[in-house]
Amino acid sequence: MNLKPWIAVAVIGMAGVAIAQDNSTLSIDGETFVTETDAPAHLENVSTIYSGWRFRTPETQALQVDDFDNPAMIFVDQGIDLFNAVDGTEGKSCASCHTDGPEEFAGLHAKMPKVVDGKLVVMEDLINTHRQDVMGAEPWKWSGADMQAMVALIGLQSRGMPMDVAIDGDAAPFWEKGKEIYYTRYGQLELSCSNCHENNYGNMIRADHLSQGQINGFPTYRLKQAKLISRHNRFRGCIRDTRAETFAEGSEEFKALELYVASRANGLDIETPAVRQ
């Protein structure tokens, strides 16, 4: 009787070893990406981190190795148009101030989210703040096509650079809050992020191959939804699926969670815009 739970645990453990991430190498236009590396020091229960790309089928993986095949690039092109489009009361476009073009933002994505003047800000905040305060334009909806096209365009400028968000100093309290959310078991199914993406990555849940839930490829083109998906939209979908009341996109909770989840990818190369199932 006392032994039985341990039998169950042993079987779960074996299942985890039997099927896991694959051994494929991600290379885009001749550049090889780090999709597997030692976990950052702050991670207590995982020794190696893997890109979500490593958990996808060969067919889905193939869509990301050539930018001509990557369906997200259509939206990046729209982002370039938006970058140059005048909008708002001041008669300005992004390009009016950022005269070197989107390339000016190389490296920014790797450091996001970050704390500015005591507030945790993510890329969507930076974009909307500049639209409102500098351009006199209406803010974009968090997961709207315009917003995510711009987030993807800016993220692409850092593609191939390792994620490197700060978790200490001003960021520490936000990071701690995000970590608490990550390990909280929400909803009637009482599932935390960690239950699936830390305890069970590599395992199948129904037809889904569970990854580590890394966000270094976001915004990502999700085949299921046929558009660019924001980080907060994916967080919302996961929490909803635990039969819980979700947090809102752009909420302080999701910004904190984004910082914590981004920090779990520190060391993985940015793949934005990735392609997922």
Partner 1 sequence: MKYGIGLGLAAALTASVVSAEAVKPTAVVFEDGAIASSLSGTPGDAANGAILMNKGSGNCIACHSVEALSDLPFHGEVGPPLDGVADRWNEAELRGIVADAKMMFDGTVMPSFYKTNGFIRLGDAYTGKAHGDGEVQPLLTAQEIEDVVAFLVTLKFE
Between 180 and 219, how does the x/- string for binding to partner 1 read (CB under 8 A)?
Answer: ----xxxxxxxx---xx--xx--xxxxx--x---------
Q: Which residues pair with 38 in a beta bridge?
A: 48
105 Cβ contact list (under 8 Å, min separation 6): 98, 154, 157, 158
Two structure tokens written together for 121: 């800000």
Q: Are 243 and 189 in contact (CB under 8 A)?
A: yes
Stretch of residues binding partner 1 (CB under 8 A), selected from 6-14, 40-48, 114-122, 257-265? 6-14
Smallest separation, CB 187 to partner 1 (Å): 5
List helix spans (H) across 90-132: 94-97, 123-130
Near partner 1 in 245-264, by CB under 8 A? 245-246
236 near partner 1, judged by CB under 8 A: yes
Smallest separation, CB 13 to partner 1 (Å): 10
ω before 139 within 30° of 0 (cis)?
A: no
Q: Are 151 and 127 in contact (CB under 8 A)?
A: yes
Two structure tokens written together for 81: 């148009």
Smallest separation, CB 260 to partner 1 (Å): 17
238 is annotated as an active-site residue: yes
Which residues make up the interface to partner 1 (CB under 8 A)?
A: 1, 4-5, 7-8, 11-12, 15-16, 18-19, 184-191, 195-196, 199-200, 203-207, 210, 236, 239-246
Q: Which residues are catalytic?
A: 238
